[in-house]
Amino acid sequence: MVKVMVYPPTSMILADLVERKGHEALVVSKEVRKKVDTPGLDSPPLNMTTEDPKKGLKYAAVDVPSGVRGRMALLGPMIEEAEAAIVIKGDDCTLGCTGCARTNELARFLLKTKRIPLLELEYPEDEVEAKRFVFKIREFLEGLS
């Protein structure tokens, strides 16, 4: 079983396909879960505190906006943990954890330069593309183990 980071890290489609093939999908909701279940933290809604943008300094300098660094505090450890990655390119529906384009650029860059098996593709727009999409992902995932 390989730890496969999916991007957007909120993607149900990617996470589902990864887990169907018996791998572990690294998704941001698991990171959020750790936050919201941490007793003693009281910073609703996500329980992210002002410490998070500071943790994000590991990935981006202090002159990078706090929202990027805070998001990187969630995504950075996932990128470090990732053994492979599947990344959707050109999606224009990104909100919340992926609501900041600069964060998405940085995260994708870090995944690409990590030199792990990486599959980049776009969401399908018709049935033919969908068949290729599913096939490529299967082929990629089967090649991992």
Partner 1 sequence: MIRIAQLSCGPEYSGVQGELQKAADMVGAELIFPEVSLEDVMNVEERFGIEVASGDLNLAMARATRIVENPDLADAVFVATCFRCAEGAIVRSEIRKYIHENSRIPVLSYSFTERTTAETLLTRMEALVTTAKFKGLLSRERQTGLTAGIDSGSTTTKSVVMKDNEVIGTGWVPTTEVVKSAEAAYNAALESAGVKREEIQGLGTTGYGRHLVGREFGAKLIQEEITVNSKGAVFLAEAQKGEATVIDIGGMDNKAISVQDGIPGTFTMGGICAGASGRFLELTARRLGVDITELGKLALKGDYQKVPMNSYCIVFGTQSLVNSLSAGSKPEDVAMAACHSVAEQVFEQQLQEVEVKEPVIMVGGTALIEGLPRAMEQLLGMKVMVPHYAQYIGCVGASLLVSGLVED
Partner 2 sequence: MKSTKYVVTSQDSDVLPSDIALRIYELGRDINVKETCFGVIIDGEEEDISATVEDLRKMDETNIFIKDRGFSPGDPRRCRGHRGGGARPGFYMMEHESEILPLISRGLASEARGEDPPSGVETKRRPTLEDLEAMINEEFS
Binding to partner 2, residues 30-89 (CB under 8 A): 30-33, 35-37, 44-47
Distance CA(38)–CA(132), nearest Å, equals: 41
- If one counts every other C-beta atom within 10 angstroms of the C-beta of residue 45, the result is 8
Tokens at 131, concatenated = 């068949």
Residues sharing a CB contact under 8 Å with residue 60, sequence separation 6 or more, in sequence order: 68, 69, 72, 106
Exactly one of 7, 59, 133, 140 binds partner 2 (CB under 8 A); which one?
133
Binding residues with partner 2: total (CB under 8 A)? 47
Residue 32 binds which of partner 1, partner 2, none (CB < 5-8 A, kind-dependent): partner 2
Smallest distance, Å, CB 115 to partner 1? 26
- Distance, in Å, from the CA atom of 90 to the CA atom of 94, rounded to the nearest integer, reads 10
- Minimum CB separation of residue 83 from partner 2 in Å reads 18
Contact between 126 and partner 2 per CB under 8 A: yes
